Amino acid sequence: MTNSLGLDRAPADTRVVVAMSGGVDSSVVAGLLAREGYDVIGITLQLYDHGEATFRKGSCCAGQDIHDARRVSAALGIPHYVLDYEKRFKEAVIDPFARSYANGETPIPCVSCNQTVKFEDLMTVARDLGADCLATGHYVRSGALEGRRALYRPLDGDKDQTYFLFATTPEQLDFLRFPLGEKTKEETRALAREMGLSIADKSDSQDICFVPKGSYSDVIRKLMPEAEIPGDIVDRDGKVLGRHKGIIHYTVGQRRGLGIASGEPLYVVRLDARTQQVVVGPRSALTTYTVRLRDLNWLGGRPIEEMAAGNGLAIEAKVRSTRAPQESVIQVRDGEVYVTLVAGESGIAPGQACVFYADDTPGAQVLGGGFIAEAVPAAMVT
């Protein structure tokens, strides 16, 4: 007989490490598992110091989060450990983010963090502690499928975090558990209140943790001052329309703040790190139907080379965490993976993720995804 985590043993004989961020979701996961009688250990990773990340002394939200995780663990009566992973986080997440941004991409550091520090390093720690699995507060589902564990969209579509977990490997999925996949955020908060947890009404984090005010360029300028290189603002024919202070201040799709006069609205359609040019054009130039991917992670069972050969494989795909998946087709050509978005998408930039789903239902299986290496624009017509 299996327990609620799908393991063949009693809860009391099952050790679970819970990744505790100090927020409502992971705190409730720890509380639920402790209440069911599992041998629960809470671990919080100190990943950054806001004073260091924003170059402002005396600012340390990471410290408050750690304090909250400690208080929750004490209230639940479970052991809690804090591990200093600041150096690793900088090397694995912050530095690659800065390099990617300086290269004109739009990186997603939350995916990198899950890929490395959380699901690679923390998983190793969990195994060293004799844990049978690692549980997190992500709103996703996983379950057994044909002798392995598959990843699915959660019950609460508004909190769906599968976009940020597409890079989770099959081996990692076997060790991971997501107890909140069947719950809504409202139910999670209600459980926190029922458990008497002090963080029950704590607000969700909105910003990237090391970019607390949403100003990417400020952080990158501090980490890589050499990345702020002036250059030309040009149209798609190469005509110089103005000057800029550095491509790190621009993103694909941006309209405001270009500082150039034009008879029609102009948008950033491409950032060229090689020439340090900001390329602008009409809104229609932002539309993309086909993307080429790199660093593919396939969770679909049979090899993608088999399933996406010929005319390709019909799937649902999303290139924005906040957008619903849309009808798409994956094709593998000459070893490269391409995704065609039937309805197209506006403002796609290299570095973003393209995530695959089996269908458009709320509980659809996640088939994997990859990072966008190239966005192929539609015909350049005004």
The DSSP result for 246-289, as a single string, is -GGG--TT--TT-----SS--EEEEEETTTTEEEEE-GGGGEEE
Q: Indicate which CATH number applies to the domain containing 354.
A: 2.40.30.10
Burial (CB count <10 Å: 0-12, 13-18, 19+), residue 83: middle
Which structural domain range is residue 355 located in? 285-377
- Retrieve residue 82's tokens: 């804090």
Note whether 357 and 258 are same-domain residues.
no
Note whether 241 and 340 are same-domain residues.
no
Q: Is-contact 137 183, C-beta < 8 A?
A: no
Note whether residue 267 is domain-resident. Answer: yes
Q: Which residues contact 334 (CB under 8 A, 6 or more apart)?
A: none
Last residue of a domain, one of 281, 315, 341: 281
Note whether 120 and 26 are same-domain residues.
yes
Task: Write the pLDDT tens digit of every residue in 106-136.
Answer: 899 889 888 889 888 999 999 999 999 999 9
Task: Write the pLDDT tens digit of every residue in 322-341.
Answer: 888 999 999 998 889 999 99
- Taking the C-alpha atoms of residue 277 and residue 230, their distance in angstroms, rounded to an integer, is 9
Q: Which residues contact 16 (CB under 8 A, 6 or more apart)?
A: 5, 33, 38, 39, 40, 41, 131, 132, 133, 134, 135, 177
Last residue of a domain, one of 259, 281, 303: 281
Catalytic residue, chosen from 61, 110, 113, 133, is 113
Note whether 271 and 290 are same-domain residues.
no
- Retrieve residue 226's tokens: 């050499």
Note whether 240 and 111 are same-domain residues.
no
Q: Does the CA dihedral 142-129-77-50 come out positive or negative?
A: negative
Angle 46-50-56 from CA coordinates, rounded to 5°:
150
Q: Which residues contact 240 (CB under 8 A, 6 or more apart)?
A: 232, 233, 234
Catalytic residue, chosen from 61, 110, 133, 209, is 209
Note whether residue 305 is domain-resident. Answer: yes
User: Is the pLDDT reported for residue 96 higher than 60?
Assistant: yes
Q: Indicate which CATH number applies to the domain containing 108.
A: 3.40.50.620
Number of domains observed in the structure of the chain? 3
User: Is the pLDDT reported for residue 255 higher than 50?
Assistant: yes
Percent of all residues in the chain with a pLDDT value above 70, rounded to a whole number? 93
Note whether 235 and 334 are same-domain residues.
no
Q: Which residues contact 27 (CB under 8 A, 6 or more apart)?
A: 20, 68, 69, 72, 137, 192, 197, 199
Looking at residue 382, what is its pLDDT?
Answer: 33
Note whether 261 and 357 are same-domain residues.
no
Q: What is the mean pLDDT of residues 78-88?
A: 94
Q: What is the mean pLDDT of residues 351-370?
A: 94
Q: Which residues contact 237 (CB under 8 A, 6 or more apart)?
A: none
Note whether 267 and 307 are same-domain residues.
no
The pTM assigned to this predicted structure is 0.90
Note whether residue 354 is domain-resident. Answer: yes
Q: Is-contact 317 345, C-beta < 8 A?
A: no
Note whether residue 199 is domain-resident. Answer: no
Answer yes or no: 110 catalytic: no
Q: Is-contact 101 222, C-beta < 8 A?
A: no
Q: Which residues of 135-161 are buried (b: 16+ CB within 10 A; e: fewer)?
A: bbbbbbbbeeeeeebbbbbbbbeebbb
Note whether 336 and 363 are same-domain residues.
yes
Note whether residue 326 is domain-resident. Answer: yes
- 265 phi and psi, to 5 degrees? -60, 135
- Taking the C-alpha atoms of residue 131 and residue 120, their distance in angstroms, rounded to an integer, is 14
Note whether residue 207 is domain-resident. Answer: no
In one-letter notation, the amino acid at residue 300 is: G
Looking at residue 212, what is its pLDDT?
Answer: 65
Note whether 21 and 123 are same-domain residues.
yes
Note whether residue 161 is domain-resident. Answer: no
User: Is the pLDDT reported for residue 27 higher than 50?
Assistant: yes
- Taking the C-alpha atoms of residue 88 and residue 94, their distance in angstroms, rounded to an integer, is 9
Note whether 241 and 311 are same-domain residues.
no
Residue 16's nearest CA partner among 123, 109, 93, 131 is: 131
Answer yes or no: 133 catalytic: no
Task: Write the pLDDT tens digit of every residue in 139-155.
Answer: 999 998 888 899 999 99
Task: Write the pLDDT tens digit of every residue in 284-322.
Answer: 999 999 999 999 999 998 889 888 888 899 999 999 988
Note whether 60 and 186 are same-domain residues.
yes
Percent of all residues in the chain with a pLDDT value above 90, rounded to a whole number? 69
Note whether residue 215 is domain-resident. Answer: no
User: Is the pLDDT reported for residue 55 higher than 50?
Assistant: no
